[in-house]
Structure 1
Protein backbone atom coordinates (compact mmCIF):
# COMPACT_ATOMS: atom_id res chain seq x y z
CA UNK A 1 0.00 0.00 0.00
CA UNK A 2 1.26 3.48 -0.86
CA UNK A 3 1.40 5.72 2.20
CA UNK A 4 1.29 9.43 1.47
CA UNK A 5 4.05 10.13 3.99
CA UNK A 6 6.36 7.65 2.27
CA UNK A 7 5.91 8.81 -1.29
CA UNK A 8 6.04 12.48 -0.24
CA UNK A 9 9.42 11.91 1.41
CA UNK A 10 10.57 9.97 -1.65
CA UNK A 11 9.57 12.73 -4.08
CA UNK A 12 11.07 15.38 -1.83
CA UNK A 13 14.43 13.67 -2.22
CA UNK A 14 14.12 13.65 -6.01
CA UNK A 15 13.09 17.30 -6.02
CA UNK A 16 16.53 18.14 -4.67
CA UNK A 17 18.07 16.68 -7.84
CA UNK A 18 18.32 17.97 -11.42
CA UNK A 19 15.13 15.96 -12.10
CA UNK A 20 12.98 18.52 -10.28
CA UNK A 21 11.74 20.53 -13.32
CA UNK A 22 10.88 17.35 -15.22
CA UNK A 23 9.09 15.85 -12.22
CA UNK A 24 6.98 18.98 -11.92
CA UNK A 25 5.84 18.63 -15.52
CA UNK A 26 5.13 14.90 -15.31
CA UNK A 27 3.46 14.84 -11.91
CA UNK A 28 1.73 18.20 -11.71
CA UNK A 29 -0.08 20.82 -13.79
CA UNK A 30 2.52 23.62 -14.13
CA UNK A 31 3.89 24.36 -17.58
CA UNK A 32 7.14 26.22 -17.10
CA UNK A 33 9.08 28.32 -19.56
CA UNK A 34 11.30 26.18 -21.72
CA UNK A 35 14.23 26.56 -24.05
CA UNK A 36 14.82 25.44 -27.61
CA UNK A 37 18.47 24.82 -26.77
CA UNK A 38 19.58 21.20 -26.99
CA UNK A 39 22.98 21.15 -25.28
CA UNK A 40 21.54 19.83 -21.98
CA UNK A 41 19.64 16.54 -22.20
CA UNK A 42 17.66 17.17 -19.00
CA UNK A 43 16.45 20.52 -20.30
CA UNK A 44 15.55 18.90 -23.61
CA UNK A 45 13.42 16.36 -21.74
CA UNK A 46 11.57 19.12 -19.88
CA UNK A 47 11.00 21.10 -23.07
CA UNK A 48 9.64 18.09 -24.94
CA UNK A 49 7.22 17.13 -22.16
CA UNK A 50 5.92 20.71 -22.15
CA UNK A 51 5.54 20.60 -25.93
CA UNK A 52 3.58 17.36 -25.59
CA UNK A 53 1.32 18.84 -22.91
CA UNK A 54 0.71 22.03 -24.90
CA UNK A 55 0.48 20.30 -28.29
CA UNK A 56 3.34 22.36 -29.70
CA UNK A 57 4.55 20.26 -32.62
CA UNK A 58 6.63 23.03 -34.19
CA UNK A 59 8.91 23.46 -31.21
CA UNK A 60 9.05 19.73 -30.48
CA UNK A 61 10.14 19.02 -34.03
CA UNK A 62 12.71 21.80 -33.90
CA UNK A 63 14.19 20.47 -30.66
CA UNK A 64 14.25 16.86 -31.87
CA UNK A 65 15.81 17.77 -35.21
CA UNK A 66 18.75 19.29 -33.35
CA UNK A 67 19.00 16.74 -30.56
CA UNK A 68 18.81 13.75 -32.90
CA UNK A 69 22.03 14.89 -34.57
CA UNK A 70 23.88 13.58 -31.55
CA UNK A 71 25.82 10.42 -32.23
CA UNK A 72 24.35 7.49 -30.33
CA UNK A 73 26.95 5.48 -28.47
CA UNK A 74 27.22 3.58 -25.21
CA UNK A 75 29.29 6.36 -23.63
CA UNK A 76 26.40 8.84 -23.80
CA UNK A 77 24.99 9.03 -20.28
CA UNK A 78 21.56 10.29 -21.32
CA UNK A 79 20.65 7.12 -23.25
CA UNK A 80 20.52 5.29 -19.90
CA UNK A 81 18.20 7.87 -18.35
CA UNK A 82 14.64 6.59 -18.71
CA UNK A 83 13.18 9.99 -17.85
CA UNK A 84 14.93 11.51 -20.86
CA UNK A 85 14.13 8.60 -23.18
CA UNK A 86 10.49 8.70 -22.06
CA UNK A 87 10.29 12.38 -22.98
CA UNK A 88 11.75 11.66 -26.41
CA UNK A 89 9.33 8.77 -26.96
CA UNK A 90 6.37 10.94 -25.93
CA UNK A 91 7.27 13.71 -28.37
CA UNK A 92 8.12 11.39 -31.27
CA UNK A 93 4.89 9.42 -30.97
CA UNK A 94 2.63 12.35 -30.10
CA UNK A 95 3.66 14.32 -33.18
CA UNK A 96 4.21 11.34 -35.48
CA UNK A 97 7.88 12.16 -36.04
CA UNK A 98 10.51 9.76 -37.45
CA UNK A 99 11.12 6.92 -35.01
CA UNK A 100 14.31 5.31 -36.34
CA UNK A 101 16.64 7.43 -34.20
CA UNK A 102 14.82 6.87 -30.92
CA UNK A 103 14.46 3.15 -31.63
CA UNK A 104 18.19 2.93 -32.19
CA UNK A 105 18.71 4.73 -28.87
CA UNK A 106 16.60 2.12 -27.09
CA UNK A 107 18.32 -0.77 -28.86
CA UNK A 108 21.84 0.36 -27.92
CA UNK A 109 21.20 -0.14 -24.21
CA UNK A 110 18.75 -3.05 -24.38
CA UNK A 111 21.13 -6.00 -24.30
CA UNK A 112 22.89 -4.79 -21.15
CA UNK A 113 19.73 -3.75 -19.33
CA UNK A 114 18.43 -5.51 -16.23
CA UNK A 115 14.96 -7.16 -16.35
CA UNK A 116 13.16 -4.06 -15.04
CA UNK A 117 14.93 -1.80 -17.51
CA UNK A 118 14.21 -4.18 -20.38
CA UNK A 119 10.53 -4.12 -19.50
CA UNK A 120 10.63 -0.31 -19.49
CA UNK A 121 12.24 -0.30 -22.92
CA UNK A 122 9.69 -2.82 -24.20
CA UNK A 123 6.99 -0.39 -23.08
CA UNK A 124 8.69 2.46 -24.93
CA UNK A 125 8.72 0.32 -28.06
CA UNK A 126 5.03 -0.47 -27.64
CA UNK A 127 4.16 3.20 -27.24
CA UNK A 128 6.03 4.01 -30.45
CA UNK A 129 3.85 1.47 -32.29
CA UNK A 130 0.65 2.70 -30.63
CA UNK A 131 0.24 -0.47 -28.56
CA UNK A 132 -0.91 0.99 -25.24
CA UNK A 133 -2.39 -2.13 -23.68
CA UNK A 134 0.23 -4.84 -24.07
CA UNK A 135 0.08 -7.49 -21.37
CA UNK A 136 3.84 -7.83 -21.06
CA UNK A 137 4.91 -4.28 -20.28
CA UNK A 138 4.51 -1.58 -17.64
CA UNK A 139 1.02 -0.29 -18.34
CA UNK A 140 1.60 2.70 -16.06
CA UNK A 141 4.10 4.15 -18.54
CA UNK A 142 1.69 4.11 -21.48
CA UNK A 143 -1.10 5.39 -19.22
CA UNK A 144 0.98 8.40 -18.21
CA UNK A 145 1.94 9.01 -21.84
CA UNK A 146 -1.72 9.00 -22.88
CA UNK A 147 -2.55 11.41 -20.07
CA UNK A 148 0.23 13.86 -20.91
CA UNK A 149 -0.43 13.70 -24.65
CA UNK A 150 -4.21 13.93 -24.18
CA UNK A 151 -4.41 10.91 -26.44
CA UNK A 152 -6.34 8.63 -24.13
CA UNK A 153 -7.70 5.26 -25.10
CA UNK A 154 -8.05 3.57 -21.71
CA UNK A 155 -8.59 -0.13 -21.23
CA UNK A 156 -10.60 -0.51 -18.02
CA UNK A 157 -9.33 -4.03 -17.35
CA UNK A 158 -5.67 -3.06 -17.72
CA UNK A 159 -6.18 0.02 -15.55
CA UNK A 160 -7.87 -2.02 -12.83
CA UNK A 161 -5.16 -4.68 -12.91
CA UNK A 162 -2.42 -2.07 -12.71
CA UNK A 163 -4.20 -0.09 -10.00
CA UNK A 164 -4.71 -3.11 -7.75
CA UNK A 165 -1.17 -4.37 -8.29
CA UNK A 166 0.40 -1.01 -7.43
CA UNK A 167 -1.95 -0.21 -4.56
CA UNK A 168 -1.20 -3.51 -2.84
CA UNK A 169 2.56 -3.33 -3.47
CA UNK A 170 5.13 -2.01 -1.02
CA UNK A 171 6.52 1.43 -1.83
CA UNK A 172 8.98 2.11 -3.35
CA UNK A 173 7.86 -0.39 -5.96
CA UNK A 174 11.33 -0.98 -7.41
CA UNK A 175 14.84 0.42 -7.14
CA UNK A 176 14.21 2.35 -10.37
CA UNK A 177 13.23 6.00 -9.76
CA UNK A 178 11.57 6.28 -13.15
CA UNK A 179 9.15 3.42 -12.53
CA UNK A 180 8.38 4.66 -9.03
CA UNK A 181 7.57 8.19 -10.19
CA UNK A 182 5.54 7.06 -13.21
CA UNK A 183 3.67 4.54 -11.05
CA UNK A 184 2.66 7.21 -8.54
CA UNK A 185 1.30 9.35 -11.37
CA UNK A 186 -0.45 6.33 -12.88
CA UNK A 187 -2.18 5.57 -9.57
CA UNK A 188 -3.49 9.14 -9.51
CA UNK A 189 -4.69 8.91 -13.12
CA UNK A 190 -6.31 5.52 -12.54
CA UNK A 191 -8.05 6.77 -9.41
CA UNK A 192 -9.45 9.77 -11.26
CA UNK A 193 -10.57 7.63 -14.17
CA UNK A 194 -12.25 5.14 -11.87
CA UNK A 195 -13.99 8.05 -10.19
CA UNK A 196 -15.08 9.57 -13.48
CA UNK A 197 -16.23 6.23 -14.84
CA UNK A 198 -18.13 5.42 -11.65
CA UNK A 199 -19.80 8.46 -10.04
CA UNK A 200 -21.42 6.29 -7.36
CA UNK A 201 -18.03 5.05 -6.21
CA UNK A 202 -16.68 8.59 -6.19
CA UNK A 203 -19.56 9.70 -3.96
CA UNK A 204 -18.93 6.75 -1.65
CA UNK A 205 -15.27 7.77 -1.42
CA UNK A 206 -16.22 11.37 -0.67
CA UNK A 207 -18.51 10.20 2.13
CA UNK A 208 -16.02 7.68 3.45
CA UNK A 209 -13.24 10.15 4.23
CA UNK A 210 -15.12 12.36 6.74
CA UNK A 211 -16.92 9.34 8.20
CA UNK A 212 -13.66 7.47 8.64
CA UNK A 213 -12.09 10.46 10.37
CA UNK A 214 -15.08 11.00 12.66
CA UNK A 215 -15.37 7.35 13.63
CA UNK A 216 -11.63 7.10 14.22
CA UNK A 217 -11.80 10.04 16.61
CA UNK A 218 -14.77 8.50 18.45
CA UNK A 219 -13.04 5.12 18.70
CA UNK A 220 -9.81 6.73 19.91
CA UNK A 221 -11.70 8.81 22.47
CA UNK A 222 -13.60 5.81 23.88
CA UNK A 223 -10.51 3.58 23.84
CA UNK A 224 -8.39 6.16 25.65
CA UNK A 225 -11.06 6.66 28.33
CA UNK A 226 -11.38 2.91 28.86
CA UNK A 227 -7.63 2.42 29.03
CA UNK A 228 -7.15 5.28 31.49
CA UNK A 229 -10.06 3.98 33.58
CA UNK A 230 -8.50 0.51 33.62
CA UNK A 231 -5.12 1.90 34.72
CA UNK A 232 -6.82 3.98 37.41
CA UNK A 233 -8.79 1.02 38.77
CA UNK A 234 -5.68 -1.16 38.88
CA UNK A 235 -3.75 1.63 40.60
CA UNK A 236 -6.67 2.18 43.00
CA UNK A 237 -6.60 -1.51 43.91
CA UNK A 238 -2.82 -1.63 44.39
CA UNK A 239 -2.83 1.47 46.60
CA UNK A 240 -5.68 0.09 48.67
CA UNK A 241 -3.75 -3.13 49.24
CA UNK A 242 -0.69 -1.14 50.30
CA UNK A 243 -2.58 0.96 52.84
CA UNK A 244 -4.64 -1.97 54.06
CA UNK A 245 -1.50 -3.80 55.18
CA UNK A 246 -0.39 -0.90 57.38
CA UNK A 247 -1.56 -0.59 60.97
CA UNK A 248 -2.85 2.97 60.64
CA UNK A 249 -6.35 3.81 61.85
CA UNK A 250 -9.06 3.36 59.21
CA UNK A 251 -9.66 7.12 58.93
CA UNK A 252 -5.95 7.73 58.29
CA UNK A 253 -5.90 4.99 55.64
CA UNK A 254 -8.82 6.54 53.79
CA UNK A 255 -7.29 10.03 54.03
CA UNK A 256 -3.87 8.88 52.78
CA UNK A 257 -5.50 6.91 50.01
CA UNK A 258 -7.54 9.88 48.75
CA UNK A 259 -4.45 12.06 48.80
CA UNK A 260 -2.58 9.43 46.78
CA UNK A 261 -5.11 9.36 43.96
CA UNK A 262 -5.30 13.16 43.72
CA UNK A 263 -2.80 15.76 42.61
CA UNK A 264 0.42 14.01 41.67
CA UNK A 265 -0.93 10.55 42.50
CA UNK A 266 -2.87 8.10 40.36
CA UNK A 267 -4.98 10.87 38.84
CA UNK A 268 -1.96 11.97 36.81
CA UNK A 269 -2.94 9.17 34.42
CA UNK A 270 -5.97 11.20 33.38
CA UNK A 271 -3.61 13.82 32.02
CA UNK A 272 -2.41 11.26 29.50
CA UNK A 273 -5.83 10.99 27.89
CA UNK A 274 -5.31 13.54 25.11
CA UNK A 275 -1.91 12.21 24.08
CA UNK A 276 -3.13 8.62 24.21
CA UNK A 277 -6.09 9.51 22.01
CA UNK A 278 -3.77 11.09 19.42
CA UNK A 279 -1.57 8.00 19.48
CA UNK A 280 -4.55 5.72 18.82
CA UNK A 281 -5.70 7.90 15.90
CA UNK A 282 -2.22 7.83 14.38
CA UNK A 283 -2.03 4.06 14.83
CA UNK A 284 -5.40 3.49 13.13
CA UNK A 285 -4.53 5.84 10.25
CA UNK A 286 -1.18 4.14 9.71
CA UNK A 287 -2.72 0.67 9.86
CA UNK A 288 -5.32 1.46 7.19
CA UNK A 289 -3.08 3.64 5.02
CA UNK A 290 -4.91 6.86 5.79
CA UNK A 291 -2.66 9.96 6.03
CA UNK A 292 -2.08 11.44 9.46
CA UNK A 293 -2.81 15.13 9.70
Structure 2
Protein backbone atom coordinates (compact mmCIF):
# COMPACT_ATOMS: atom_id res chain seq x y z
CA UNK A 1 0.00 0.00 0.00
CA UNK A 2 1.54 3.29 -1.06
CA UNK A 3 1.47 6.83 0.34
CA UNK A 4 1.21 10.20 -1.37
CA UNK A 5 1.98 13.76 -0.24
CA UNK A 6 -0.94 16.08 0.46
CA UNK A 7 -0.94 19.83 -0.25
CA UNK A 8 -0.16 20.43 3.44
CA UNK A 9 2.91 18.22 3.21
CA UNK A 10 1.43 15.41 5.31
CA UNK A 11 1.62 11.89 3.96
CA UNK A 12 -1.78 10.42 3.13
CA UNK A 13 -2.66 6.86 2.37
CA UNK A 14 -3.57 6.09 -1.24
CA UNK A 15 -6.92 4.36 -1.69
CA UNK A 16 -6.47 0.63 -2.00
CA UNK A 17 -7.39 -0.84 -5.39
CA UNK A 18 -9.55 -3.94 -5.11
CA UNK A 19 -9.74 -6.79 -7.57
CA UNK A 20 -11.41 -10.11 -8.25
CA UNK A 21 -8.89 -12.90 -8.78
CA UNK A 22 -10.08 -16.14 -10.40
CA UNK A 23 -7.97 -18.92 -8.90
CA UNK A 24 -7.69 -22.36 -10.49
CA UNK A 25 -7.70 -25.17 -7.92
CA UNK A 26 -6.70 -28.85 -8.20
CA UNK A 27 -9.14 -31.23 -9.87
CA UNK A 28 -8.04 -34.11 -7.67
CA UNK A 29 -4.35 -33.85 -6.78
CA UNK A 30 -3.46 -31.10 -4.29
CA UNK A 31 0.12 -31.10 -5.56
CA UNK A 32 -1.15 -29.43 -8.74
CA UNK A 33 -1.88 -26.15 -6.93
CA UNK A 34 0.58 -23.54 -8.22
CA UNK A 35 2.78 -21.36 -6.01
CA UNK A 36 1.06 -18.29 -7.42
CA UNK A 37 -2.34 -19.72 -6.47
CA UNK A 38 -1.10 -20.42 -2.93
CA UNK A 39 0.19 -16.86 -2.56
CA UNK A 40 -3.09 -15.44 -3.88
CA UNK A 41 -5.18 -17.46 -1.44
CA UNK A 42 -2.94 -16.41 1.45
CA UNK A 43 -2.97 -12.70 0.63
CA UNK A 44 -6.60 -12.24 -0.44
CA UNK A 45 -8.95 -10.44 1.93
CA UNK A 46 -11.75 -12.85 1.23
CA UNK A 47 -12.32 -16.19 -0.46
CA UNK A 48 -15.53 -16.80 -2.41
CA UNK A 49 -15.99 -20.54 -2.90
CA UNK A 50 -18.43 -22.82 -4.65
CA UNK A 51 -18.65 -24.83 -1.40
CA UNK A 52 -17.04 -23.50 1.81
CA UNK A 53 -16.44 -27.04 3.10
CA UNK A 54 -14.17 -27.88 0.18
CA UNK A 55 -12.51 -24.46 0.36
CA UNK A 56 -11.71 -24.90 4.04
CA UNK A 57 -10.08 -28.26 3.34
CA UNK A 58 -7.83 -26.57 0.79
CA UNK A 59 -7.00 -23.70 3.15
CA UNK A 60 -6.23 -26.18 5.93
CA UNK A 61 -3.88 -28.06 3.60
CA UNK A 62 -2.06 -24.78 2.97
CA UNK A 63 -1.97 -23.88 6.66
CA UNK A 64 -4.15 -20.79 6.13
CA UNK A 65 -6.27 -19.94 9.17
CA UNK A 66 -8.91 -17.30 9.84
CA UNK A 67 -9.58 -16.51 6.20
CA UNK A 68 -13.00 -14.96 5.56
CA UNK A 69 -14.75 -17.51 3.38
CA UNK A 70 -18.20 -17.23 1.83
CA UNK A 71 -20.13 -19.30 -0.67
CA UNK A 72 -22.23 -18.81 -3.78
CA UNK A 73 -24.59 -21.51 -2.44
CA UNK A 74 -26.27 -22.62 0.78
CA UNK A 75 -26.63 -20.90 4.14
CA UNK A 76 -23.63 -18.62 3.66
CA UNK A 77 -24.67 -17.66 0.15
CA UNK A 78 -23.59 -14.18 -0.90
CA UNK A 79 -25.05 -12.35 -3.89
CA UNK A 80 -22.66 -11.65 -6.77
CA UNK A 81 -23.55 -7.95 -6.56
CA UNK A 82 -22.43 -7.84 -2.92
CA UNK A 83 -19.08 -9.36 -3.89
CA UNK A 84 -18.66 -6.64 -6.52
CA UNK A 85 -19.22 -4.05 -3.78
CA UNK A 86 -16.40 -5.57 -1.73
CA UNK A 87 -14.06 -5.26 -4.70
CA UNK A 88 -15.06 -1.64 -5.28
CA UNK A 89 -14.37 -0.91 -1.60
CA UNK A 90 -10.77 -2.01 -2.12
CA UNK A 91 -10.82 -5.68 -1.15
CA UNK A 92 -8.93 -8.37 -3.04
CA UNK A 93 -11.40 -11.23 -3.46
CA UNK A 94 -10.25 -14.69 -4.57
CA UNK A 95 -12.89 -16.73 -6.41
CA UNK A 96 -12.50 -20.51 -6.57
CA UNK A 97 -14.41 -23.53 -7.82
CA UNK A 98 -14.58 -26.86 -6.01
CA UNK A 99 -12.23 -28.19 -8.68
CA UNK A 100 -10.64 -26.57 -11.70
CA UNK A 101 -11.32 -23.10 -13.02
CA UNK A 102 -14.17 -20.98 -11.63
CA UNK A 103 -16.83 -20.14 -14.18
CA UNK A 104 -16.59 -23.53 -15.90
CA UNK A 105 -19.81 -25.41 -15.06
CA UNK A 106 -20.25 -23.38 -11.87
CA UNK A 107 -21.82 -19.98 -11.02
CA UNK A 108 -18.53 -18.07 -11.02
CA UNK A 109 -19.44 -16.31 -14.25
CA UNK A 110 -22.13 -14.30 -12.46
CA UNK A 111 -19.53 -12.84 -10.10
CA UNK A 112 -17.25 -11.89 -13.00
CA UNK A 113 -20.21 -10.21 -14.72
CA UNK A 114 -21.11 -8.09 -11.68
CA UNK A 115 -17.50 -7.05 -11.03
CA UNK A 116 -17.02 -6.02 -14.66
CA UNK A 117 -20.28 -4.06 -14.58
CA UNK A 118 -18.88 -1.80 -11.85
CA UNK A 119 -15.64 -1.37 -13.79
CA UNK A 120 -13.44 -3.16 -11.27
CA UNK A 121 -10.35 -5.24 -12.05
CA UNK A 122 -10.62 -8.95 -12.82
CA UNK A 123 -7.50 -11.13 -13.11
CA UNK A 124 -6.86 -14.84 -13.37
CA UNK A 125 -4.46 -17.34 -11.81
CA UNK A 126 -4.85 -20.34 -14.15
CA UNK A 127 -4.82 -23.87 -12.87
CA UNK A 128 -5.78 -27.47 -13.67
CA UNK A 129 -8.74 -28.15 -15.94
CA UNK A 130 -10.56 -31.41 -16.54
CA UNK A 131 -11.60 -30.03 -19.93
CA UNK A 132 -8.12 -29.44 -21.33
CA UNK A 133 -6.68 -32.50 -19.58
CA UNK A 134 -9.19 -34.77 -21.34
CA UNK A 135 -8.51 -33.15 -24.70
CA UNK A 136 -4.78 -33.73 -24.22
CA UNK A 137 -5.46 -37.45 -23.68
CA UNK A 138 -7.23 -37.82 -27.05
CA UNK A 139 -5.57 -39.74 -29.89
CA UNK A 140 -7.94 -38.21 -32.46
CA UNK A 141 -8.11 -34.62 -33.76
CA UNK A 142 -9.72 -32.08 -31.41
CA UNK A 143 -8.58 -28.87 -33.09
CA UNK A 144 -12.13 -27.56 -33.11
CA UNK A 145 -14.46 -28.46 -30.25
CA UNK A 146 -17.56 -27.46 -28.31
CA UNK A 147 -17.71 -27.67 -24.50
CA UNK A 148 -21.27 -28.22 -23.25
CA UNK A 149 -20.80 -28.75 -19.51
CA UNK A 150 -23.02 -31.52 -18.15
CA UNK A 151 -25.40 -33.24 -20.56
CA UNK A 152 -29.11 -32.76 -19.90
CA UNK A 153 -30.59 -34.99 -17.19
CA UNK A 154 -33.76 -35.52 -19.24
CA UNK A 155 -33.20 -38.37 -21.70
CA UNK A 156 -35.21 -36.91 -24.59
CA UNK A 157 -33.49 -33.53 -24.33
CA UNK A 158 -30.10 -35.20 -24.02
CA UNK A 159 -30.63 -37.15 -27.23
CA UNK A 160 -31.83 -34.06 -29.08
CA UNK A 161 -28.69 -32.22 -27.97
CA UNK A 162 -26.49 -35.10 -29.09
CA UNK A 163 -28.10 -35.03 -32.54
CA UNK A 164 -27.27 -31.33 -32.83
CA UNK A 165 -23.69 -31.96 -31.68
CA UNK A 166 -23.32 -34.76 -34.24
CA UNK A 167 -24.65 -32.65 -37.10
CA UNK A 168 -22.31 -29.75 -36.25
CA UNK A 169 -19.37 -31.96 -37.26
CA UNK A 170 -17.05 -30.70 -34.51
CA UNK A 171 -15.80 -32.58 -31.45
CA UNK A 172 -17.89 -32.29 -28.28
CA UNK A 173 -16.59 -32.28 -24.70
CA UNK A 174 -19.00 -32.93 -21.84
CA UNK A 175 -18.96 -33.73 -18.14
CA UNK A 176 -21.11 -36.51 -16.71
CA UNK A 177 -22.03 -37.83 -13.28
CA UNK A 178 -21.34 -41.50 -12.44
CA UNK A 179 -25.01 -42.43 -12.02
CA UNK A 180 -25.81 -41.23 -15.55
CA UNK A 181 -22.70 -42.32 -17.45
CA UNK A 182 -24.14 -45.65 -18.69
CA UNK A 183 -27.26 -44.04 -20.14
CA UNK A 184 -25.33 -41.16 -21.69
CA UNK A 185 -22.90 -43.52 -23.43
CA UNK A 186 -25.86 -45.59 -24.65
CA UNK A 187 -27.41 -42.43 -26.08
CA UNK A 188 -24.14 -41.50 -27.79
CA UNK A 189 -24.05 -44.96 -29.38
CA UNK A 190 -27.62 -44.53 -30.59
CA UNK A 191 -26.98 -41.09 -32.11
CA UNK A 192 -23.41 -41.44 -33.41
CA UNK A 193 -23.21 -45.18 -34.07
CA UNK A 194 -21.37 -47.85 -32.10
CA UNK A 195 -18.20 -47.56 -34.19
CA UNK A 196 -17.81 -43.83 -33.61
CA UNK A 197 -14.67 -42.92 -31.66
CA UNK A 198 -14.68 -41.14 -28.31
CA UNK A 199 -12.61 -40.77 -25.17
CA UNK A 200 -13.89 -41.39 -21.66
CA UNK A 201 -11.86 -40.24 -18.66
CA UNK A 202 -12.53 -40.34 -14.94
CA UNK A 203 -10.77 -39.52 -11.66
CA UNK A 204 -8.35 -37.24 -13.53
CA UNK A 205 -5.11 -36.54 -11.59
CA UNK A 206 -6.21 -38.90 -8.80
CA UNK A 207 -4.75 -42.26 -7.80
CA UNK A 208 -7.25 -44.23 -9.88
CA UNK A 209 -7.21 -41.98 -12.95
CA UNK A 210 -8.46 -43.91 -15.96
CA UNK A 211 -8.98 -43.00 -19.59
CA UNK A 212 -10.06 -45.02 -22.58
CA UNK A 213 -10.09 -44.00 -26.24
CA UNK A 214 -12.09 -46.47 -28.29
CA UNK A 215 -15.31 -46.98 -30.21
CA UNK A 216 -18.50 -46.03 -28.40
CA UNK A 217 -19.54 -49.69 -28.42
CA UNK A 218 -16.30 -50.76 -26.75
CA UNK A 219 -16.56 -48.01 -24.15
CA UNK A 220 -20.14 -49.01 -23.36
CA UNK A 221 -18.91 -52.52 -22.54
CA UNK A 222 -15.90 -51.32 -20.52
CA UNK A 223 -15.39 -51.54 -16.77
CA UNK A 224 -15.35 -47.74 -16.64
CA UNK A 225 -19.06 -47.75 -17.45
CA UNK A 226 -19.98 -51.00 -15.72
CA UNK A 227 -18.45 -49.85 -12.41
CA UNK A 228 -19.04 -46.09 -12.32
CA UNK A 229 -16.99 -44.03 -9.91
CA UNK A 230 -16.02 -40.36 -9.78
CA UNK A 231 -16.74 -37.55 -12.20
CA UNK A 232 -16.41 -38.28 -15.93
CA UNK A 233 -15.26 -36.29 -18.94
CA UNK A 234 -16.35 -37.39 -22.41
CA UNK A 235 -14.76 -36.26 -25.66
CA UNK A 236 -16.83 -37.29 -28.68
CA UNK A 237 -14.87 -37.07 -31.91
CA UNK A 238 -16.24 -35.06 -34.81
CA UNK A 239 -17.95 -36.76 -37.70
CA UNK A 240 -15.78 -36.72 -40.82
CA UNK A 241 -16.38 -33.65 -42.96
CA UNK A 242 -16.79 -35.88 -46.00
CA UNK A 243 -20.27 -37.11 -45.11
CA UNK A 244 -21.99 -39.28 -47.68
CA UNK A 245 -24.68 -37.51 -49.65
CA UNK A 246 -28.27 -38.87 -49.58
CA UNK A 247 -27.94 -40.40 -53.08
CA UNK A 248 -24.78 -42.25 -51.99
CA UNK A 249 -26.53 -43.54 -48.87
CA UNK A 250 -29.45 -44.76 -50.96
CA UNK A 251 -27.07 -46.48 -53.40
CA UNK A 252 -25.34 -48.33 -50.55
CA UNK A 253 -28.73 -49.23 -49.06
CA UNK A 254 -29.77 -50.71 -52.40
CA UNK A 255 -26.71 -52.96 -52.49
CA UNK A 256 -27.34 -54.15 -48.93
CA UNK A 257 -31.06 -54.61 -49.54
CA UNK A 258 -30.30 -57.06 -52.35
CA UNK A 259 -28.69 -59.33 -49.73
CA UNK A 260 -32.10 -59.85 -48.07
CA UNK A 261 -30.68 -59.65 -44.55
CA UNK A 262 -33.79 -58.23 -42.93
CA UNK A 263 -34.53 -54.81 -41.45
CA UNK A 264 -32.30 -54.90 -38.37
CA UNK A 265 -29.25 -56.50 -39.97
CA UNK A 266 -29.45 -54.21 -43.00
CA UNK A 267 -29.84 -51.09 -40.85
CA UNK A 268 -26.99 -52.09 -38.54
CA UNK A 269 -24.68 -52.82 -41.46
CA UNK A 270 -25.61 -49.54 -43.15
CA UNK A 271 -24.82 -47.65 -39.94
CA UNK A 272 -21.47 -49.40 -39.52
CA UNK A 273 -20.43 -48.79 -43.13
CA UNK A 274 -21.48 -45.14 -43.38
CA UNK A 275 -21.12 -43.78 -39.84
CA UNK A 276 -24.76 -42.69 -39.52
CA UNK A 277 -26.68 -43.67 -36.39
CA UNK A 278 -28.69 -46.89 -36.26
CA UNK A 279 -31.88 -44.88 -35.84
CA UNK A 280 -31.17 -42.90 -39.01
CA UNK A 281 -30.20 -46.09 -40.84
CA UNK A 282 -33.46 -47.78 -39.81
CA UNK A 283 -35.47 -44.71 -40.84
CA UNK A 284 -33.78 -44.78 -44.25
CA UNK A 285 -34.54 -48.51 -44.50
CA UNK A 286 -38.25 -47.91 -43.84
CA UNK A 287 -38.49 -45.08 -46.37
CA UNK A 288 -36.63 -46.88 -49.15
CA UNK A 289 -38.36 -50.22 -48.56
CA UNK A 290 -41.74 -48.52 -48.92
CA UNK A 291 -40.69 -47.36 -52.40
CA UNK A 292 -39.84 -50.83 -53.62
| TM-score, length of structure 2 as denominator length | 0.25
Could you say which structure has the higher helix fraction? Answer: 1
- TM (normalized to structure 1)? 0.25
